[in-house]
Chain A
Amino acid sequence: MPTYVVRDTTVMLKRSLRHILRSPDTIVTTAVTPIAMLLLFVYVFGSAIDTGGGRYVDYLLPGILLITVASGIAYTAFRLFTDVSGGLFERFQSMPIARSAVLWGHVLTSVVANVISLVLVVLVAVAMGFRSGAGVLAWLAVAGILVLFTLALTWLAVIPGLTAKSADGVSGFSVPLIFLPFISSAFVPTGGMPGPVRWFAENQPVTPIVNTVRGLYAEQPVGNDGWIAVAWCPGLLLVAYALAMRTYRSKIA
């Protein structure tokens, strides 16, 4: 019933948005860790880090935004896991609804929740002195990159959401994602890292994405990093989506 895809997805989206409204703590806890890192690095370690001029908070914010997304998607996995373990997922699957609506409802909710968390983090950064002269187009480009990144990580989160055996297992998967930005240009320039670490840092997706967002905020040309980031985000999204759908199909038999 393809005609019902949009209608059913809207109903499912409305349902999980209600979940978020009734547990706003999930958005606050998502934002707490990145905000704590922001405070710690700007006010404690920041003075010892040489980024080659400029405010450190301006340098740090893009990486913190990616960490916000990585910690936010754990809740998406958890909400999906709750549906699966509680039997609601099977109820929906046994009903005459567009089957993809069940997953899309959770995925779109993840985007909404993460956008709210991201706005919170940016507001704290502004209070700490973050400033950008970026125009509307640059902000839109940043928003686009972050939404694509959120979608990619969310589809990745769908996999443990569908397959986890316990609530602990479901949230554990996001820990490596939160730490990935540490081995990138998010906190310190990659130039000072030893050979293999530097190679990894410069060739993993976080670095070009962080550099691009940083460039957009600083009104600098993003150059090659921009194209690499533009390739990574949809690329990650496609791979994550394909893996999630494969898991989903094996789940519903």
Chain B
Amino acid sequence: MTTTSAIEIAGLTKSYGDHSVLGGVDLTVPPGTVYALLGANGAGKTTLVRILATLLRADGGTAAVHGHDVAAEPARVRESSSLTGQFAAVDEILTGRENLVLIGELRHLEDAGGIADRLLARFDLTDAAGRRVATYSGGMRRRLDIAMSLIGDPPVLFLDEPTTGLDPQSRLEVWKTVQELAGQGTTVLLTTQYLEEAEHLAHRIAILHGGRIIAEGTLAELKRLLPPATVEYVEKQPTLEDIFLAVVGSDGSDQ
């Protein structure tokens, strides 16, 4: 499927009453890239992701995921994609392992237990596998949440503000995961309001503002939109985050 875009959006519109959220979005995401959708709160990022994940119907325009139209072939879209929403969608009463097995069974996979164990190891959750998710920290929940989305190896992954509300260490863990996914050829559409997150992770970036894509390209291309860089000498102070990570140890686990 190298000739097909992972995500192809043309003229997509969505309004709630007379409040227009998306006013004609065009976007092409090449396969195997990490694509960041950058925008302020209320810019329409979540609405766009919900349309792509077949949870919401667009008013106009077209959107296709992995070559399948979201309106005409929603079942195909669901087979080839996975959504990680803004809040960790995990079952608190089940254990971490039971959550993973549940998703494996719902995706009709053989050996859901084996898949669960491998993901638990990969996301550093093996020790907590038998504990109820209600006892997990925010970072552990998010890791489990992303692990659940990876079951069945969907070629396209939607991550809606995956690091919002996470502490710095958990955020770095999520970043590492996204980079590993990209290395395996998974297409990741990531929404974020953190500019550094887009800068750090994404191959390409689109800026969604007022319901439209107002800029799109690689980081280097976007930088060229501004006047050439001038050289200034600024004393480099450590950021509070640098200090925090140095003091607590950036490899410290949050368990």
Which chain A residues have a beta carbon within 8 Å of chain B's beta carbons?
Answer: 1, 4, 7-8, 11-12, 15, 18-19, 22-23, 86-88, 90-97, 252-253
Is B98 at the interface (CB under 8 A from chain A)? yes
Determine whether the beta carbon of B54 is less than 8 Å from that of A15: no
Further pairs besides A86-B92, A87-B88, A94-B78: 16, Cβ < 8 Å:
A11-B102, A18-B98, A19-B93, A22-B132, A23-B93, A86-B89, A90-B53, A90-B83, A91-B85, A91-B148, A92-B106, A93-B54, A94-B81, A97-B106, A97-B107, A253-B57
Determine whether the beta carbon of A96 is less than 8 Å from that of B79: yes
Chain B contact patch, size range: 20 to 34
Residues of B within 8 A of A252 (CB): 55
A-B contact pairs, 9 of them (CB 8 A): A1-B75, A18-B93, A22-B132, A86-B90, A92-B106, A94-B81, A95-B106, A97-B106, A97-B107
Determine whether the beta carbon of A88 is less than 8 Å from that of B93: no
Bound complex: CA A252 to CA B51 (Å): 11
Determine whether the beta carbon of B89 is less than 8 Å from that of A95: no
Bound complex: CA A23 to CA B90 (Å): 18
Is B91 at the interface (CB under 8 A from chain A)? yes
Please indicate which of the listed interface residues B57, B75, B78, B86 has the most CB atoms of chain A within 10 Å of its own CB.
B78
User: B94-110: contact bitstring with A at CB < 8 Å (1 yes, 0 no)?
Assistant: 10001000110111100
The prevalent SS among residues of A at the interface is helix
Residue from the list A4, A7, A22, A92 in contact with B93, Cβ < 8 A:
A22
Residue from the list A7, A15, A88, A97 in contact with B89, Cβ < 8 A:
A88
Residues of B within 8 A of A19 (CB): 93
Given A94-B82, A97-B106, verify A88-B55 contact (CB < 8 Å).
no
Residues of A within 8 A of B82 (CB): 94-95
Residue from the list B55, B87, B107, B132 in contact with A86, Cβ < 8 A:
B87
Determine whether the beta carbon of B94 is less than 8 Å from that of A15: yes
Bound complex: CA A128 to CA B75 (Å): 55
Determine whether the beta carbon of A91 is less than 8 Å from that of B75: no
Total cross-chain contacts (CB, 8 A): 64
Bound complex: CA A1 to CA B108 (Å): 12
Bound complex: CA A128 to CA B150 (Å): 56
B residues 40-92 touching A (CB-CB < 8 Å): 53-57, 75, 78-79, 81-83, 85-92
Residues of A within 8 A of B57 (CB): 253
Determine whether the beta carbon of B83 is less than 8 Å from that of A8: no
Residue from the list A7, A18, A88, A94 in contact with B53, Cβ < 8 A:
A94
Residues of A within 8 A of B107 (CB): 95-97
Expressed in whole angstroms, the minimum distance between the Cβ of B66 and any Cβ of chain A is 12
Determine whether the beta carbon of B106 is less than 8 Å from that of A11: yes
Bound complex: CA A95 to CA B154 (Å): 10
Bound complex: CA A86 to CA B87 (Å): 7
Bound complex: CA A19 to CA B94 (Å): 8
Residue from the list B55, B75, B79, B86 in contact with A253, Cβ < 8 A:
B55
Across the A-B interface, the 5 shortest Cβ-Cβ residue pairs: A87-B89, A96-B78, A91-B89, A96-B79, A94-B53
Bound complex: CA A59 to CA B114 (Å): 56
Nearest CB to that of B108 among chain A residues?
A: A4
Nearest CB to that of A86 among chain B residues?
A: B89
Expressed in whole angstroms, the minimum distance between the Cβ of B214 and any Cβ of chain A is 27
Residues of B within 8 A of A92 (CB): 106
Determine whether the beta carbon of A11 is less than 8 Å from that of B88: no
Expressed in whole angstroms, the minimum distance between the Cβ of B85 and any Cβ of chain A is 5
